[in-house]
Amino acid sequence: MKIISVAGARPNFMKIAPLMEAFTNEPAIEPILVHTGQHYDERMSDLFFRQLGIPQPDINLGVGGGSHAVQTAEIMKAFEPVVIEHKPDAVLVVGDVNSTIACGLVAVKLGIKLIHVEAGLRSGDRSMPEEINRVLTDSISDYLFCTEHSGVDNLTREGVPQERVFLVGNVMIDTLLKNRQKADTSGILDDLGLRQGEYAVLTLHRPSNVDDPAVFARLLNALEVVQNDMPVIFPIHPRTRNNLSTSSLGGRVKSMSNLRLIDPAGYLDFLKLTSNARLVLTDSGGIQEETTILKVPCITMRENTERPITVEVGSNYLVGTDPKNILKAYGEVMSSSCKVARIPPLWDGHAAERIAEILVKQFAE
């Protein structure tokens, strides 16, 4: 059974790593890896391949940046001949980035079965590009693998036949559990002069937060207070860096001496940073899940989440972008009433193996 697996942007790489390993260990599967090139900087891409032991992509489409339409179209144009040449039994896509829907569409239009890993997540917010990618990818997928119960419920509500949907756990958590010890050896805390439990980690890259200077300025009002209490380490995404360099907010950020911008961190350094942080502030999707496993408090500066289990049983506080609400959650996190995280079902490091096993069975039928 030949499966083309697709990875394109940074959050895909930690999901594809355990799948490639499970597929390589499964004699019935012949895996082929395609990198779309949506993310291309060394620190956004190659570093993750090396650290996570992902095999070199068999094919790199080298697509790069662009508007959503341009990026999606370029990926489709470049991916179609690859599928035609290799004639896979299935194409596998992960997550919710533009590469996910672009390659998914190419596959189904060529009559190839589509597998979606991390299916069914819904923020309910159609202004998020990722939400459109999720809804569309799920609607054309043949095999839908979910990380949490809400995913199964959402797909059921949308009328996806039950026999296509599998609750298998979280491949991103497979990667985290596998690399936790290795990450412990990272020297990043020493390099930055940080002590365990005495600093915060911040990530911000969502267009709704960083493309609108008014929203970004509001977030900085809250972050100013946090950085008065402790160092805030801010590995900065290229989108966010570009926006700061072209607006007056760049100066404001520079004036906050304890808000420390660093280059995008590699996987192991970032895991070391988050594992040992007093708290994490973010607008990412995946980091809400990683902090849940790590039992580190996470303040999510978004109005909604597609990963409700991280709030229900995990360490996540979903607070929006109003500084008052961010600081209220911050107060709670720093107090004795901070909630204690539990681990969601099946987030046990074996999701990718389950997926490989199910696929082999399904395709044997």
The verdict on 198 binding ligand UD1 (CB under 6 A) reads no
- C-beta nearest to ligand UD1: residue: 65
Binding residues for ligand UD1, total number by CB under 6 A: 19
> Which DSSP letter does residue 44 get?
G
* Interaction between residue 11 and ligand UD1 (CB under 6 A): yes
Is residue 240 within 8 Å of 204, Cβ to Cβ?
yes
* 126 CB neighbour count, 10 Å cutoff: 9
Tokens 């499966």 map to which residue?
Answer: 3
Q: Which is nearer to ligand UD1, 45 or 315 (CB)?
A: 45
From CA 281, how far away is CA 204, in angstroms rounded?
8
129 binds ligand UD1 (CB under 6 A): yes
Residues 152-181 that bind ligand UD1 (CB under 6 A): none
Q: Which stretch binds ligand UD1 (CB under 6 A): 93-101, 136-144, 181-189, 216-224?
A: 93-101
x/- string (CB under 6 A) for ligand UD1, residues 226-265?
Answer: -----------xxx--------------------------
Binds ligand UD1 by CB under 6 A, chosen from 5, 36, 51, 98: 98
Q: Judged by CB, which is closer to ligand UD1: 227, or 316?
A: 316
DSSP 312-354: HTSSEEE--S-HHHHHHHHHHHTSTT-----PPTT-SS-HHHH
329 exposure class (CB count in 10 Å sphere: 0-12, 13-18, 19+): buried
Q: Is 64 left (phi over 0), alpha (psi -120 to 50) or beta?
A: left
- Of the candidate residues 5, 36, 38, 276, the single one contacting ligand UD1 (CB under 6 A): 38
Maximum alpha-carbon separation in the chain? 63
Q: Is 220 helix (H, G, I), strand (E, B) or coil?
A: helix
Side by side, the strands of the sheet bearing 90-94 are: 59-60, 30-35, 2-7, 90-94, 113-117, 143-146, 165-167
Q: Which of 35, 113, 122, 205 binds ligand UD1 (CB under 6 A)?
A: 205
Q: How far is the CB of 269 from ligand UD1 (least distance, A)?
A: 16
Residue 306 binding ligand UD1, by CB under 6 A = no
How many CB atoms lie under 10 A from the CB of residue 5? 26
The verdict on 60 binding ligand UD1 (CB under 6 A) reads: no
Q: Does 10 bind ligand UD1 (CB under 6 A)?
A: yes
If the CB atoms of residues 71 and 227 are measured against ligand UD1, the closer one turns out to be 71
Q: Which residues pair with 42 in a beta bridge?
A: none
Q: Show which residues are catalytic.
A: 205
116 counts as binding ligand UD1 under rule CB under 6 A: no
- Beta carbons of 120 and 142 less than 8 angstroms apart: no
Tell me which of 15, 35, 39, 350 binds ligand UD1, using CB under 6 A.
39
* Token reading at 91: 């194409």
Tokens 């940074």 belong to 10
If one asks whether residue 136 binds ligand UD1 (CB under 6 A), the answer comes out as no
Is there binding between residue 44 and ligand UD1 (CB under 6 A)? yes
Tell me: does residue 73 bind ligand UD1 (CB under 6 A): no
CB of 278 or CB of 302, closer to ligand UD1: 302
Helices (H) and strands (E) in the chain — how many of each?
17, 13
Q: Which stretch binds ligand UD1 (CB under 6 A): 6-14, 46-54, 105-113, 317-325?
A: 6-14
Which residue blocks in 66-128 are alpha helix, DSSP H?
68-86, 98-109
Stretch that binds ligand UD1, among 9-17, 82-90, 107-115, 212-220 (CB under 6 A): 9-17
Q: Compute the least distance from the CB of residue 92 to ligand UD1, in Å.
A: 17
Looking at 65, 124, 197, 331, which residue binds ligand UD1 (CB under 6 A)? 65
d(CA 265, CA 233): 11
- d(C-alpha 149, C-alpha 161), whole Å: 16
By the rule CB under 6 A, 97 interacts with ligand UD1? yes
Q: Give residues in contact with ligand UD1 (CB under 6 A).
A: 9-11, 38-41, 44-45, 65, 96-98, 129-130, 205, 237-239
